[in-house]
Every structure is written in C-alpha cells, then in structure tokens.
Amino acid sequence: GAGVSQSPSNKVTEKGKDVELRCDPISGHTALYWYRQSLGQGLEFLIYFQGNSAPDKSGLPSDRFSAERTGGSVSTLTIQRTQQEDSAVYLCASSSPGTGGTNQPQHFGDGTRLSIL
Amino acid sequence: GDSVTQMEGPVTLSEEAFLTINCTYTATGYPSLFWYVQYPGEGLQLLLKATKADDKGSNKGFEATYRKETTSFHLEKGSVQVSDSAVYFCALSDLGSARQLTFGSGTQLTVLP
C-alpha cells in the first residue's frame, strides 16, 4: 500500500491476556518505530528498528513488552499479561534512509486503539 | 535528555485569525525539528520540517523557523480556516537519539466559522 498499515485498528481484551499488534511499513523504508499515545502521557517512544535489528529499546515500559521485525518489513509488538495501564493508541511509523546526517521524516500509520478491560 | 515544551491548549480562534503555537526544545545534539498534525479521527501527518538553524519550514500556509539562539520552532499561520481544526504536535529528532521523535504534549486548535 501507499502508507503505513497497522492492524487491528481496534482491540479490546481482558486484563492478563496477551496481544499482538502488527505494522506494515512503507515499502523501502528501512527504519521502523513504535510509539504509544495515551491520555496524560502524550506520545511516547517505545522502540526503533533499523532493518531487523533494534538498536534502541529504551522506551519499552516493562519486560511484558517486546517487538520483532522480520525480512526488514513487517513488525509485531507483543504485550504479555496486559494491564489496564496498557490501554492506549499504539502508533507505528517508518522512514527512508537519510543522507548527509539528515533525518528523513517519519510517516505514521493510523494506529491500533487498545483497550484493556 | 531531549525534551519539547509546547504551548498548552486548547486554543480557540475565529476563522481568518492569526495563529501562533509556541514550541521550545532542549537537545544535546543538532536536532531536526518537525510539526505534525492530527485531524479528528485520523493519524499523525507531517506538516512541516526544518533540519538546521535558520531554516524555515512551510506547508498549507503554515510556517515555522528553526531558531537555534532561542531554541524555538513556533508554528504560525496568517489566516486560519475551520479545516485547520486539529491537534498540533511539535517534535524533534536528535541524531544522537537513534532518530526517534520526541514530542511535545500537543495543542488542540479549534477554529470557529
């Protein structure tokens, strides 16, 4: 597709269940990012992939959160044993390689709205 | 660490009014600066960017100038329209931070006809 695609668009699950969120970046974009948007916390960085490796996992809030990327394309964010505070919109973004030290703008998907009951 | 401080909202203006949304930043390196916009029910969209001091980003009548001396990147538009109603986010990307975006808290703008 033309843009970053995320699925599902909405997910409602019970506390304690595991959830898996998917991101399909723009074709050719080597960098992929996960963010979380929640009331009171704004937009928070979670993890960054360059190709299939994740040089920066500093934003993951706990060891219940993990992410992987395969084939330099699709990424999944997994939250184990979900808690109510995990309720948020999870956003994925991708960007193309920069040159000369500049940062290429990130293009965002529409997000997955996660609600933990 | 890096941070972005953004003018708190909500901001309500009449159509054709002048808009300023203030944004200041703190960064350890030489960041690129961005404004993103989120229209109701939609995802984040890049509005404009500036990658070095004194650069001016512009798009859809919006402008912002990268001011290194005041560490600011204020968003301006001379005449807002109802269709500009959205949440505006100032953000920076520091090369030393693996290029992740650090966002401000967002400013809700409502333009009344």
The string of pLDDT tens digits covering residues A86-103 is: 999 999 999 887 665 555
The string of pLDDT tens digits covering residues A20-37 is: 999 999 998 888 999 999
The string of pLDDT tens digits covering residues B18-55 is: 999 999 999 987 899 999 999 988 889 999 999 889 99
A1: confidence class by pLDDT, cuts 50, 70, 90: low
Checking DSSP bridges between strand A112-116 and strand B107-112, what pairing results, if any? unpaired
Q: Which residues of A touch B95 (CB under 8 A)?
A: 101, 103
Q: In this predicted structure, what is the pLDDT of residue A72?
A: 83
Tell me the range of A41-55, A61-75, B86-100 where mean pLDDT is highest. A61-75
Instruction: Give me the phi and psi of B83, to 5 degrees please.
Output: -70, -10
pLDDT for residue B110 is more than 70: yes
Q: Which residues of B touch A107 (CB under 8 A)?
A: 46
Q: Which residues of B touch A91 (CB under 8 A)?
A: 43-44
pLDDT for residue B1 is more than 90: no
Q: Does B74 touch chain A (CB under 8 A)?
A: no
What does the alpha-carbon distance between residue B19 and residue B78 come to, in Å, rounded to a whole number?
6
The string of pLDDT tens digits covering residues A64-80 is: 999 999 888 999 999 99
What does the alpha-carbon distance between residue A113 and residue A19 come to, in Å, rounded to a whole number?
12
Nearest to B107 by CA among B43, B23, B26: B23
Q: In this predicted structure, what is the pLDDT of residue A71?
A: 87
- Three-class secondary structure assignment of A4-46: CEEECCEEEECCCCCEEEEEECCCCCCEEEEEEEECCCEEEEE
Q: In this predicted structure, what is the pLDDT of residue A17?
A: 97
What does the alpha-carbon distance between residue A38 and residue A87 come to, in Å, rounded to a whole number?
7
The string of pLDDT tens digits covering residues B48-84 is: 999 889 999 999 999 999 999 999 999 999 999 999 9
Q: Find, in chain B, the residue whose alpha carbon is nearest to that of A105.
A: B46
Q: Does B43 touch chain A (CB under 8 A)?
A: yes
pLDDT for residue B97 is more than 80: no
Q: In this predicted structure, what is the pLDDT of residue A5?
A: 96
